[in-house]
Amino acid sequence: MSDILLFVGYGETFVFIVLVFASVLALAVGMERAIVFRKNSNKQISLFAEELIRLFRKRDLKTAADLVKKSGENAYTRFALFAIDHAVKDTHGLSDLMSGKIIEEKIDLEKRLTILNTLGNNAPFIGLLGTVLGVIKAFHGLGTLGSTGADVVMRSISRALLATAAGLFIAIPVVMANNYFSKKVKVIIQQLEILSREISAGLRARKTEAAAKPKKARR
């Protein structure tokens, strides 16, 4: 039985070490993703996207390219530069190329969010494991010491419950951060899809105008 209790004690310590590591990892990932989304989602970028859409509607690709080059690097500028470059070279299959680029940007934006998702889902269970191990240890102490060791047992149980509290303390903000970042990804991808449709519509209109000009000249 003493070997089992030794194992339980080590397990309880290990759970707290894992929770500390999980909190540090979650903080690091959250800060890194916050920097990424700050670069890809702010008021200035929203104004840039609106201006870009306006230029695409006017079919002014040259001005749009100049605007993109002056606007720094983010998901919108990378996508717009990719689309303009391929539109100038060849418009055939451009819609499929832009869809692929959107998927590429989505993968980049969702990078490391699985870490937050995993920590948010599992931190409470890791804490609960620590509580279970602590309660096992406490009840063994109660059986060994009897009523004379009630104070020791209560302290053991309170420490065991601390593991569950620590798990929840990690999980709640991590889940909130993950939901926030996931929402940001969804909004950015939707805006890129709008840009994609605007580019396709603008190029189709330009091709229609180009095809109509020779007919007018012949008349």
User: Residue ranges of the domains in the chain?
Assistant: 2-206
DSSP 156-201: HHHHHHHHHHHHHHHHHHHHHHHHHHHHHHHHHHHHHHHHHHHHHH
pLDDT, tens digit (0-9, with 9 covering 90-100), for 124-145: 999 999 898 888 887 776 766 6
pLDDT of residue 108: 92
The percentage of the chain sitting over the pLDDT mark of 90, rounded to a whole number, equals 33
- Listed in sequence order, the residues at least 6 apart from 88 whose beta carbon sits closer than 8 Å to its beta carbon are 61
| Greatest alpha-carbon span in the chain | 110
Between 159 and 30, where is the model more confident?
A: 30
Does residue 195 contact residue 79 with C-beta atoms inside 8 Å? Answer: yes
Q: What average pLDDT does the segment 172-194 reach?
A: 92
pLDDT of residue 61: 75
pLDDT grade, residue 87 (50/70/90)? confident
The answer on pLDDT for 215 being more than 60 is no
The percentage of the chain sitting over the pLDDT mark of 70, rounded to a whole number, equals 84
pLDDT of residue 208: 65
The torsion of the CA quartet 181, 186, 188, 192, rounded to 10 degrees, works out to 160
Does residue 42 contact residue 71 with C-beta atoms inside 8 Å? Answer: no
The 3 state secondary structure assigned to 110-151 is CCCHHHHHHHHHHHHHHHHHHHHHHHHHHHHHHHHHHHHHHH
Full-model pTM: 0.80
pLDDT of residue 176: 95
pLDDT of residue 3: 66
Give Cα separations from 180 to 19, 23, 92, 210 (angstroms): 22, 18, 37, 45
Cα 171 → chain centroid: 16
Does residue 72 contact residue 156 with C-beta atoms inside 8 Å? Answer: no
Residues 38 and 42: their CA atoms lie apart, in Å, by 6
pLDDT, tens digit (0-9, with 9 covering 90-100), for 103-120: 999 999 999 999 999 999
